[in-house]
Amino acid sequence: MFDNRCMKCGVRLKSDEIALYRKLIYRGAQSYSCLDCQAKYLNVTREDLEKLIEYYHRSGVCSLFAKWDDEEKKEISHDETNRTGQLSAAV
């Protein structure tokens, strides 16, 4: 298990939050921040980041995120897929 904490607010981090931090902010990071602090830093909403995490898991394009199995996939509309795709292209 991970025992990393957010460097800004001290909350315990999930592995997805660490992976997203490395993906979006700094690949070689040794300390990380939680979704809320990353959202503030990137000037997006927490929901945007959650969708981005799901997008990376679903697409399997990023080696930092394990590809989800079929049974774990949730329904997602084309609108949401486009939005997260745009966000990922923007950063």
Which one, 7 or 62, has the nearer CB to Zn ion? Answer: 7
In contact, 56 and 65? CB cutoff 8 Å: yes
Q: Is 43 exposed, middle or buried (0-12, 13-18, 19+ CB in 10 A)?
A: exposed
Which one, 24 or 59, has the nearer CB to Zn ion? Answer: 24
Q: How far is the CB of 46 from Zn ion (least distance, A)?
A: 11
Which one, 4 or 33, has the nearer CB to Zn ion? Answer: 33
Binding site for Zn ion (CB under 5 A): 6, 8-9, 33-34, 37
Beta bridge partners of 6: 32
